[in-house]
Amino acid sequence: MPIEFNVYRLSDSLGNLTTLETKRDWMDETPEKHAYRCFPLGLVNNLGWGISFPKDITFICNSNPKPQQKYIEVISGEEYLYIDSRNDIITFNTGLMFKTDENLTLWVKRVPNQFIDGVHVLEVLLNASFLKGQLSPAWKISKKDVPITIKAGTPVVSVLPIDLAQINHSTAIISNGLDLPLDEVQNDPEYTEYVTRRQKDGDWAGLYKNAVDHKGNSLGSHQAKKIILNVRDISK
């Protein structure tokens, strides 16, 4: 059964919750946008919901602040941030309160394959079944003395609901693979040549996406060939 959880808007002028997009700036810059043809990359890019803000946020962390100068100076978007002058952490004022049942945990983490120079998301696992108040994710600033800008609409974190009970007590079984048949650990040279040739021609074979070999023979199936997430806004 599809997972559902509740999100309450505590303010109309703060954060937005949307499904993540596949689009990434650095992928746009690859030759002929070739990165978008990688199915595993595209699949994870839209896995989760993103929290973003309607206006640009710009701040600078001063490594040696002058008298009367703050350690972290907010240039724009101050209403979206909480600043602690004693460290290099910024916390976001989202205005969004999450509620889950007791068997669902929110993994608040960095947005997959989105890179913002100079900051790192502080990832957490939260059970929101009993928490009150807004979700306030945080970043650690690693680049000092230069302005850092978050463009309007850019997700600052992603939120992914998971069931920790299914992960708890899981076991990784490590075995000796040296005695496995070669065809179980190594692709057919003909397959490798086919894929290499297609990629050099700027074409993407799509074999992994369709779970077939270079001759079209089925190799298996995926748990999900596409992740579909939704937002149902009943706040208005």
29-63 tens-digit pLDDT? 998 888 898 889 999 999 999 999 999 999 999 98
Rounded distance, CA 191 to CA 121, Å? 40
Pair 160, 63 in one domain: yes
Whole-number pLDDT of residue 18? 96
Whole-number pLDDT of residue 185? 81
Q: Which residue has the higher pLDDT, 98 or 190?
A: 98
Whole-number pLDDT of residue 80? 97
Whether the pLDDT of residue 222 is over 90: the answer is no
**Does residue 36 sit within a domain?**
yes
Pair 110, 189 in one domain: no
Whole-number pLDDT of residue 69? 80
**Does residue 230 sit within a domain?**
no
* Structural domain that includes position 205: 173-219
Whole-number pLDDT of residue 219? 87
What percent of the chain clears pLDDT 70, i.e. is strictly above it? 98
**Does residue 148 sit within a domain?**
yes
Whole-number pLDDT of residue 154? 97
**Does residue 227 sit within a domain?**
no
Pair 81, 196 in one domain: no
pLDDT, one tens digit per residue, over 159-206 is: 999 999 999 999 999 999 888 888 888 888 888 888 888 877 767 778
Residue with tokens 């994710």: 137
Whether the pLDDT of residue 15 is over 90: the answer is yes
| pLDDT level of residue 96 (50, 70, 90 thresholds) | very high
Whole-number pLDDT of residue 236? 72
Is the separation of the CB atoms in 142 and 119 below 8 Å? yes
**Does residue 33 sit within a domain?**
yes
Rounded distance, CA 154 to CA 54, Å? 9
Pair 82, 185 in one domain: no
Pair 106, 41 in one domain: yes
**Does residue 22 sit within a domain?**
yes
**Domain count of the fold of the chain:** 2
Least confident of 8-12, 182-186, 215-219: 182-186
3-state secondary structure the chain: CCCCCEEEECCCCCCEEEECCCCCHHHHCCHHHHHHHCHHHHHHHCCCEEEECCCCEEEEECCCCCCCCCCEEEEECHHHEEECCCCCEEEECCCEEEECCCCCEEEEECCCCCCCCCEEECCEEECCCCCCCCCCCEEEECCCCCCEEECCCCCCEEEEEECHHHHCCCCCCCCCCCCCCHHHHCCCHHHHHHHHHHHHCCCCCCHHHHCECCCCCECCCCCCCCCCCCCCCCCC
Q: Which residue has the higher pLDDT, 201 or 230?
A: 230
**Does residue 153 sit within a domain?**
yes
Output the average pLDDT for the chain. 91
**Does residue 95 sit within a domain?**
yes
Closest CA to 95 of 10, 174, 16: 10
Rounded to an integer, the average pLDDT of 10-21 is 94
Whole-number pLDDT of residue 223? 84
Pair 182, 109 in one domain: no
Whole-number pLDDT of residue 225? 80
Pair 32, 141 in one domain: yes
Pair 149, 180 in one domain: no
Pair 177, 159 in one domain: no
Is the separation of the CB atoms in 212 and 196 below 8 Å? no
Pair 124, 196 in one domain: no
Whole-number pLDDT of residue 188? 86
Closest CA to 164 of 228, 99, 111, 101: 101
